[in-house]
Amino acid sequence: MENNTIIAIVVVVIIAAVLIIGGILMDKSRKRAIRRADEAAKAKADERLAAERAVKAAEAKTKQAEAEEAEAQAQAAKQSPVATNTAAQAPPTQAAETATKAGTGELPPAQPSASPTPSEEGVKEESASTPSAEGVGESEARAGGSPRAVEEVPVPANEQIEKPAGRKTRLETLRAKLSKSSNPFGKALFTILTKDNLTESDWEDVEDTLLMADVGAEASEELTEKMRTDARVTGKSNPAEVKEALRGELVAMVGKDTDRRLNADKPDAHRPSVIIMVGVNGTGKTTTAGKLARLFVGQGKSVMLGAADTFRAAAADQLETWGAKVGVPVVRSDRDSADPASVAFEASQKAKEADVDVLIIDTAGRLQNKANLMDELGKIRRVTEKNLPVDEVLLVLDATTGQNGMAQAKVFAEAIGITGVVLTKLDGSAKGGIVISVQKELGVPVKLVGVGEGPDDLAPFEPAAFVDGILE
Ligand SMILES: Nc1nc2c(ncn2[C@@H]2O[C@H](COP(=O)(O)OP(=O)(O)OP(=O)(O)O)[C@@H](O)[C@H]2O)c(=O)[nH]1
């Protein structure tokens, strides 16, 4: 062989090696960039949640001051010779509210709460035995050290009660809303995979699309590899076959044989079956508790709601509105910032007495990095268990939060133990992939999905309907 030929071969080999190494390096830096963007998004979400928490804390402080002032005024009114009826004995703001509501038959008269009820004693006993003094301290600070009164809001007259949508309608809504949501990742994948000759860069795009949709690094790689070796995708196949291959792989990843029934729906469920809703701020816990009550009512079950979100003033009212629509009573505190464990205790006691099928307890949103608030959740569970076993703890995750949801899920799982996930706001997210990563990392099934703010926009999670929704 001539020298020139050898030199040419060597040069070609060197160029090829440089191109391959360059490609690998570029691929690594691209993945690094995606992960960095992901981390930045997580940090931003944490910051936003912390700011929201601070605003809420300030609001609660103001409300507590107002409540104390009202209480002082009530004490003064008690000493007056004309203040003799129940409404007049209540704080002025509460008295006005009680009078109005009693007039409409909406609420019972305020409960006297000067001496501790047996349930309060139960809660106090728990407070003393709770290992984390910090957690209890926080909840007592929220209660403002004042007596706690919990009341049951009765259901309205029968003719006002709505009829919730059935399972079929809910699944149709789920499919329609998911297929309408902007840029569903299934469609993007399908577009790439139906190209004639798939290049290396197309496969990178497949993996990127999955990463961007929050499928998670491990699952994205796994799915891309599976598609690469599927003859229906790599051969000269038709789009229908590609779609079927993609559908099959996605359904398998989501887990078609997982038991996703709510524990309350299982034959061995306790009666009442207790469900506690947990999650960070604003994920949709109260809304989901209300929608869930509707879902059970639709199945012919008797339900009670417990408003243990005493931190956000409007949460109990919100729950009451949901309850009233479907004829479900709500157990709530008659004052803001009461001890949530006290409400949970009363709710479980009342649910037991009323022998309802299901009790749903709503809790306040809390950041997973606040140890004392996470301890408070443990206390809510333990106090409830003095009356009834807890069948289900549902972690409500906002699908738009992306991978930060994973960090939340892990901490909540450790603090209170979770039996299922509700993924809300899927209607506003192109990132349904979190369904795959949350199940893969936690081993806890997604049981329900929220696809809108409407009363029946909560559907049982069904892998096939979910995948069809993102592929259609
Ligand atoms: N688009 C959409 N919005 C939802 C969904 N679920 C809840 N929301 C909305 O999310 C907002 C917050 O919902 P809430 O139920 O108040 O949230 P929360 O978790 O109880 O809030 P905190 O008690 O403050 O932690 C409300 O505006 C709800 O209407 C959903 O599935 N889709």
- Structural domains in the chain (count): 2
Q: Is 432 exposed, middle or buried (0-12, 13-18, 19+ CB in 10 A)?
A: buried
pLDDT for 82: 24
Residue with tokens 């809390």: 366
Task: Supply the pLDDT for residue 21.
Answer: 83
Same structural domain, 298 and 434: yes
346 CA distance to ligand 1 centroid (A)?
A: 25
Q: Which residue lies with its CA nearest to atom 29 of ligand 1?
A: 453
Stretch 158-187: mean pLDDT = 69
Atom of ligand 1 nearest to the CA of 424: 31
Q: Which band of pLDDT confidence, cut at 50, 70 and 90, is reported for residue 170?
A: confident
Interface predicted TM-score of the whole assembly (ipTM), two decimals = 0.97
| Predicted local confidence at residue 357, as pLDDT | 96
More confident residue, 353 or 65: 353
Query: Which residue type occupies 332?
Result: R
Q: Which atom of ligand 1 is nearest to the CA of 315?
A: 23
Q: What is the pLDDT confidence band of residue 334, given thresholds at 50, 70 and 90? A: confident
Residue to mutate (ligand 1; options 311, 368, 453; most atoms within 8 A of CB): 453
Separation of CA 19 from chain center: 47
In the sheet that 330-333 helps form, which strands lie side by side, from edge to edge?
A: 150-153, 330-333, 303-308, 358-363, 273-278, 390-398, 420-424, 446-450, 458-460
Q: What domain range is 422 assigned to?
A: 159-166+260-471
Which pLDDT score, from 0 to 100, does residue 381 have?
94
Predicted pLDDT of residue 247: 87
Is any ligand 1 atom within 6 A of the Cβ of residue 428? yes
Least confident of 60-69, 141-150, 154-163: 141-150
| In a shared domain, residues 220 and 297 | no
440 and 416 share a domain?
Answer: yes
- Asked if pLDDT for residue 116 goes beyond 70, the answer is no
Confirm or reject: Cβ of 164 under 6 Å from ligand 1.
no
Least confident of 18-32, 192-206, 420-434: 18-32
Residue 42 belongs to a domain: no
Q: Is the CB of 285 under 6 A from ligand 1?
A: yes
With cut-offs at 50, 70 and 90, classify the pLDDT of residue 84. Answer: very low
- Looking at the structure, do residues 249 and 275 belong to the same domain, yes or no? no
Our answer on whether the CB atom of 152 is closer than 6 Å to any ligand 1 atom is no
At 54 the pLDDT is 65
- Mean pLDDT, range 176-181, rounded to an integer: 66
Q: Is the CB of 290 under 6 A from ligand 1?
A: no
CATH number for 221: 1.20.120
Q: Ligand 1 pocket, 452 CB below 6 A?
A: yes
Q: Which residues are annotated as a binding site for GTP?
A: 279-286, 362-366, 424-427
Do residues 278 and 386 share a domain?
yes
pLDDT at 111 over 60: no
Per residue in 202-258, pLDDT (tens digit) is: 899 989 988 888 888 888 899 899 888 888 888 766 788 888 888 898 899 888 888
Backbone angles phi, psi at 153, to 5 degrees: -90, 120
Cβ–ligand 1 distance for 373 under 6 Å, the answer: no
Same domain? For 280 and 353 the reply is yes
Given the CA of residue 458, which atom of ligand 1 is nearest to it? 31
Q: Are 243 and 320 found together in one domain?
A: no
